Structure 1
Amino acid sequence: MVRSHCAVFISLQIFFSSLAAASVPVAVGEGLQGVIGYSDGKLHGSLAPLYECIFDRADIQPQFIQVPLKRGLGYLHSGEVSMVLPLAQSERRDRIGEFAGELFSADYVFVSNRQLPPISETSGLKYGLPRSFVGEQFITDENPRIEEVTEWSQLVAMLHYDRLDAVVLPALLVEDLFGPDVVKVFQQTAGTLPVSLYLSRANLDSEDVGKIKRAVRSCRAGDLVSELR
């Protein structure tokens, strides 16, 4: 009887160990309001169904942590997480991890408290950006003045108190950040970038990477992407 109990106990240990081993650490950018977030054991926000689609079709059990964007990229570089989402593609990020392929395209905008001339033709403005944000590539000023912040919400306050001339934001995030005051701000198109997630080349083998990329293509082809537009 004792041996039988021991055998069952060992089997359960192996079973739960295999479940734990199957979980994949995934960093989720924080401060993205109703767009994407993590709480109570699951993703929420308008982008959540898209990323849940990827994990389901790739048969991955994600273990989420929510961190600032810059820290998430640092964790990816050090191998502390295997994926970071949501991230637009950039050359700098391509050196840190493997882009999983375009899941959807995102528009980016310059937001200001007053009507500005075309920003692409204007110099001397002071811009606000979150640290490690791709928005800097849309600024064409040769010697831009840029204030970097940790949280997206800080940009709203700094713009309100005229500490910045303009901020660069994903268009999806503007209404969530500004709330009712969104009608008081001015927006100019900055550009469009492919968005998906970045993968750790150190933590994931080629088979896993291929499986995730196929899942991205499959989820991109569904109705979930069209619902974002």
Structure 2
Amino acid sequence: MIPTLNEADNLRWLMPRLTAVDEIVIVDGQSTDGTVEVALAIRPDAKIIVEPPAGKGAAMRTGMAAATCDLIIMLDADGSMDPAEFDSFLALLCRGFDFVKGTRYGCGGGSDDLTGLRSLGNRMLTRLANLLYGQHWSDLCYGYVAMRRDAVRRLCLRSTGFEIETEMCVNAVRAGLRIAEVPSHETERRYGQSNLNTFRDGWRVLKTMVRLRFAGPLEQPEPDVAPADPLPALTSAE
């Protein structure tokens, strides 16, 4: 699942590398650079959803709701996340985990993109999240995530911006999901400029994790239960 906004040049690198997936869902924020056309030219089978740009979180929620495969991977469109790492995420899902998050600080992980300021902010936010939620995460603000489709409803996501990455993590804890981290190497954005604002989005992440910590139990949706087959009608002979 890929949210996009004017990422045509990056998709020319990314889309040919998505060969071993059953479904590609792209949620586009009304791009003006031919993003949708590029995606369809390379992968005509991609499912494209175009909606007004309301933020990364809003796009991700739309894409997760539209996905039909049992296992879902969230991927940034800028080429910083390598599809060659899919197997590492999927292996942990197949071992029974519900929610697998990438970490740039694990053994084998790294980042060519994090500035010193962003790395410091991420480490501080991660430490606070671990304190608030009793976890041992090494990387909170990284959107390379895989999960089971049946976990999407249980996350009860509401965020519209970059803070959705934090909301996914903390709500996975609140929902009692089985969580794992896997090392990932982030490269620099290949083309264009990021929409991330260090201070604005860091503040939104902080508010999200604190608010949810004291929001009370996460209300879980009712499980989908198929209606029972009706009993056969009895005849007088029976």
Q: Which has the larger radius of gyration?
A: 1
Q: Name the structure, 1 or 2, with higher relative contact order (CA <8 Å, separation 6+).
A: 1
| TM-score (norm: length of structure 1) | 0.27
TM, length-normalised to structure 2: 0.26
